Amino acid sequence: MNFGRGPSVVLNVGGTRYSFSREVLKDFPLRRVSRLHGCLSEQDVLEVCDDYDRERNEYFFDRHSEAFGFIMLYVRHGHLRFVPHMCELSFYNEMIYWGLEGSHLDYCCQRRLDDRMSETCTYYAAEEPNGGPEGKGRRPPGAEGRKWLERMRRTFEEPTSSVAAQVLATVSILFVIVSMVVLCASTLPEWRAPENRSVEEQSRIIEAICIGWFTAECIVRFIVSKNKCEFVRRPLNIIDLLAITPYYISVLMTVLTGENSQLQRAGVTLRVLRMMRIFWVIKLARHFIGLQTLGLTLKRCYREMVMLLVFICVAMAIFSALSQLLENGLDLGTKNKDYASIPAACWWVIISMTTVGYGDMCPITVPGRILGGICVVSGIVLLALPITFIYHSFVQCYHELKFRSARYSRSLSAEFLN
């Protein structure tokens, strides 16, 4: 360093002081700090920091002190993580100021930053007024149409984004509840009795109205979606299609075959198609954070779920083979016919490892009972191992979705006040 005197240099970041030797600054990992080593004049110093005290050789930076403390932990230990209870974008802004990039973050924090940046870009893209300061007086062609489509998309996709979205979500929930009640009640023997034909006809009318609402909702959401291919690939949209299609297939078969409803319902295919409408319940995931959290957790924890499945399959193969051998394969005087084969013993292993114990089959020999005890204890241990990872992921997903919902609630409050 050619400017300043003294063997050490003091950095004052937001009131917190850090002392370094001059030689350390030369190869300091933070580019802004290392630039101090080449400053030749006070003007060069003020281009790097906010103020400078020549007497104490102290450089002042009006930045977030706690964020810089976490950045210093990265300098010392090589791990960079977000400051708790601090906005990811604000911390990323501090990183850029000191000369770091997003790749310096740990992987978990990189994923949080990517998610936050994508959400912010989507949010501001929808709220961007006129394309910049140059276009304040005039709107580009088609801007009003795009803004209207974006507002419609948020109304149908985000139930807490506006008052209209909340009303639409409430109506959709009511239709789902009504359709489920009608579907469940239609399986009662009283409803299918010949003297209750009028009730059956009314249930068909209600069912047709619900299907019409779901169809219209799905078509509108498809029209206002940004990416049509991505819309078709989304799991919830696939479930909507699976819930709506059986009704139209059954109607088409009625028109083509000309058979009466009683004969049609006797057919296995039509009964299966009718029961597929139970997928309407999953439509509630659009309006409840709990179901959204469950789906997001399963999506992020598919490795842990596969690991859990592997644990169960390995244990099932081992214990089913041993139980079949001990209960039926060896000549111990008594043979348990419930364990006549390994596939039959697999059912006993599953209900034992999950501690369900239906009691429909159980070992009768002493070695088999000892093996059963080991099987139960092993099931408890093996099932508990991946649950910890799934639990932490569930909590993280819940907080993320809750924060997102709170953000839209704030925009809803502003809209209501305006």
Nearest to 179 by CA among 280, 86, 97, 84: 280
Q: How many CB atoms lie within 10 A of CB 189?
A: 7
Amino acid at 299: K
- Looking at the domain that runs over 302-417, which CATH code has it been given? 1.10.287.70
In the chain, where the domains are located: 8-124, 148-287, 302-417
Is the CATH number 3.30.710.10 carried by domain 8-124? yes
Report the pLDDT value the prediction gives residue 374, as an integer from 0 to 100: 92
Contacts for 335 with CB less than 8 Å, ≥ 6 apart: 327, 328
**What is 148-287's CATH superfamily?**
Voltage-gated potassium channels. Chain C (1.20.120.350)
- For residue 409, which phi and psi values (nearest 5 degrees)? -65, -35
Q: Report which of 283, 296, 287 is spatially closest to residue 399, judged by C-alpha positions.
A: 296
- Look at residue 292 in the predicted model and tell me its pLDDT: 80
- pTM score over 0.75: no
For residue 314, the model assigns a pLDDT of 92
Q: Give the model's pLDDT for residue 355.
A: 85
Averaged over successive runs of 10 residues, the pLDDT of the chain (418 residues) comes to 66 88 80 83 85 86 90 87 86 88 82 73 44 47 67 76 81 86 79 70 84 87 83 81 80 68 54 70 74 82 87 91 85 76 90 86 87 91 85 82 65 48
